[in-house]
Amino acid sequence: MSSTEIALIALAIGLIIGVGVSLLVMWAYRAKARVELETSSAIPDGVADVLRSMDDAACVVDVSGLVLATSVAATRFGIEVGAILENQELRQLVRNVRSTGGTGTETMRITRGGLSLDPRLVSARASTLGPRLMLLIIRDVTEQERLDQMRNDFVANTSHELKTPVGAVSLLAEAIESAADDPAQVRIFAARISAEAARLGQLTGRILSLSRLQAADGLADVNPVAIDEVIMASIEAHVVQADSAGVELVRGGDRGVWVRGDAQILIEAVGNLLTNAIVYSPRGSRVGVGVKADGDVVEIAVADQGIGISEADRERIFERFYRADEARSRRTGGTGLGLSIVKHATQRHGGEVRLWSRPGRGSTFTIRLPRIETPVIDQDEKRKKKRARKAAKAAAPARARNGDRA
């Protein structure tokens, strides 16, 4: 036998012994943990039942950090009965609270179970359960933090957007005061105040729509909705804007298609697409509204031959307050919220919005919604729908009534 072979055999024997010893140590450790688990201070009556009924991750640990009982959700953080609490920050919290007594809460980022998962932001609360036991409750607040951040951004952006027209109104009021002797100037400033007021109205209306869509868990007023009615109401509300912009509105495609949802919200969504299509199109061009029933899906496409949207902007235009061309959007009375409303309204209906666009050629926004069978409608329903259409017509957006265009 060569010396290399002897060395290899020695190495193999060494490995086998090493692995054997490790297994033995692990087995002994687990056995010790089991014994400790069985013999350690008894968990107070009812605590295990409470843990079982908890939605949060929670566990009872002893002084050595050994986990004695857990809630179901604790496994999400890799916390298991019979194992040692692994996370160092959680252990530190438990130690601190143990030394001071009472309760302690800390917010920290911890990794759930396997390392591949994103760290979660948690609020961990440790409380003394007895001389040897601590209760640890770990509440996942990641989603809460995301929503808070979104809300804060929204409030900050909204106040920023409101500042401009409010500031303009106050400056114009001062200008009117100092031009009191010049009726022509007063008329000009008054007209500008009116325009700013309309802009404020438009902005607050859209902010309300968006926060309603984002706040509610579902749609408030859900009924079978005829897409024909939605298209007719949206077009009627935009005839004046299209006329004064010199844009022709054309309706095409399938008729008699139905979805389940809130007619007002759908009319507003299609209306926002029409407003944009008209605003971002040149005089003499066409804006088409087409409906296509494709199996279980209804597609409502609003197509224009306008300025189009660059690839980089296509990624972002559904974000709140995002505008591809800030100056142009403001000049035409835009709020930067129209498409965000379209996106949320569509999602609330279980659908999605698709966008095709080429700069200089035009854009097509397609709302895709789940289709339903044609329902049997009674006369009451018909009257309700007629009233809804009238209301939508009366609420045509200020931008549409202004007939402003690019």
Residues that bind ligand ADP (CB under 6 A): 272, 276-277, 280, 304, 306-307, 309, 317, 322-325, 329, 334-340, 363
Shortest spacing between CB 106 and ligand ADP, in angstroms: 41
Share in percent of the chain as helix, strand, coil (round to 5): 50, 20, 25
Shortest spacing between CB 406 and ligand ADP, in angstroms: 9
Residue 292, H or E segment: strand 286-294
Query: Smaller CB distance to ligand ADP: residue 70 or 335?
Result: 335
- Cα separation, 90 vs 94, in Å, equals 6
Query: Smaller CB distance to ligand ADP: residue 129 or 396?
Result: 396
- Cα separation, 343 vs 124, in Å, equals 36
- Cα separation, 204 vs 68, in Å, equals 55
- Cα separation, 305 vs 353, in Å, equals 19
Tally Cβ neighbours within 10 Å of residue 254.
Answer: 14
For 16, 255, 295, 300, the CA distances from 374, given in Å and listed in that order, are 73, 11, 13, 17
Shortest spacing between CB 152 and ligand ADP, in angstroms: 21
Query: Smaller CB distance to ligand ADP: residue 120 or 323?
Result: 323
Shortest spacing between CB 233 and ligand ADP, in angstroms: 19
Judged on CB neighbours under 10 Å (0-12, 13-18, 19+), 280 is buried
Query: Smaller CB distance to ligand ADP: residue 62 or 304?
Result: 304
Tokens of 314: 């296509």
Shortest spacing between CB 330 and ligand ADP, in angstroms: 8
Query: Smaller CB distance to ligand ADP: residue 165 or 338?
Result: 338
CA dihedral angle for residue 212, residue 215, residue 218, residue 222, rounded to 10 degrees: -10
Shortest spacing between CB 56 and ligand ADP, in angstroms: 39
Query: Smaller CB distance to ligand ADP: residue 94 or 274?
Result: 274
Residue with tokens 């003499």: 284
Shortest spacing between CB 184 and ligand ADP, in angstroms: 32
Nearest residue (beta carbon) to ligand ADP: 338
Query: Smaller CB distance to ligand ADP: residue 123 or 285?
Result: 285
